[in-house]
Structure 1
Amino acid sequence: MPADTAAFSARIREASWSRHQGLDPSADAAEPTPGVFDLLFDGTLSVDDYTRWHAQQFFVYEAIEAAAERFRDDPVAGPFVFPELARVPAIEADLRFLMGPKWRSGVEPLAATKAYVDRIDEAAAAWPGGYIAHAYTRYLGDLSGGQAFGKAARRNYGFEGEGASFYDFADIKSPKAFKDEYRSRLDAADLTAAEQDRLIEEVLLAYDHNGAVLAALGEGLGRNPFEPKVIAAICHHMNTDHAADTLVICRGAGDQRGSEAARMTGFDGDGADFAALVDGVEVPVRIRWASPLSERAEVRPEIVRLFTESKAALADG
Structure 2
Amino acid sequence: MTEKFSARLRQGTATIHDDVEHTDFMVDLMEGRLDAEAYATLLTQYEVIYAALEERARAFADDPVFAAFHDPRLERHARIVADLAALNSSGVTVESGPGSAVDSGVVPSARDYALRLSAIATPEAMIAHHYTRYLGDLSGGQAIGTLMARHYGIGAEALTMWDFSELGKTKPYKDDYRSRLDEIAATGGDEQAVLDEAIAAFEVNGALLGELTRERAA
1:43–1:156 Cα contact (<8 Å) kept: yes
How many angstroms apart in 2 are the aligned matches of 1:161 and 1:154? 7
Q: 1:15 aligns with which of 12, 15, 20?
A: 12
Q: Deviations over 1:34-90 (max 9, x none)?
A: x22222222121111111111101111111100111111221111101121110111
2:72 is the counterpart of 1:80: no
How far has the Cα of 1:217 moved from its partner? 0.5
Structure whose residues are more often helix by fraction: 2
1:46–1:222 Cα contact (<8 Å) kept: no
Query: Residues 140-219 of structure 1: matches in 2 within 5 Å?
Result: 140-189=135-184, 190=186, 195-219=190-214
1:54 partner amino acid: L
Q: Deviations over 1:248-303 (max 9, x none)?
A: xxxxxxxxxxxxxxxxxxxxxxxxxxxxxxxxxxxxxxxxxxxxxxxxxxxxxxxx
1:59 partner amino acid: V
How many angstroms apart in 1 are the aligned matches of 2:187 and 2:66? 10
How many angstroms apart in 2 are the aligned matches of 1:191 and 1:44? 46
2:64–2:187 Cα contact (<8 Å) kept: no
Q: 1:133 aligns with which of 128, 132, 142?
A: 128
Look up the match of 2:86. 97
| Structure 1 runs, 4 residues or longer, greater than 2 Å off | 99-109, 157-160, 189-193
1:7 partner amino acid: K
How many angstroms apart in 2 are the aligned matches of 1:117 and 1:70? 15
TM-score, reference length from structure 1: 0.62
1:77–1:129 Cα contact (<8 Å) kept: yes
Gaps of at least 5 residues in structure 1 are 27-34, 224-317
Q: Which has the higher contact order (CA 8 A, sep 6+)?
A: 2
How many angstroms apart in 2 are the aligned matches of 1:153 and 1:146? 11
Residue aligned with 1:162, SS: helix
Gaps of at least 5 residues in structure 2 are none
How many angstroms apart in 1 are the aligned matches of 2:22 and 2:61? 34
* Change in 2 beyond 3 A, CA 1:24/1:7: closer
Look up the match of 1:31. none
Q: 1:49 aligns with which of 31, 38, 44?
A: 38
Look up the match of 1:39. 28
How far has the Cα of 1:181 moved from its partner? 0.2
Q: Deviations over 1:150-183 (max 9, x none)?
A: 1101112223322211111121221111110001
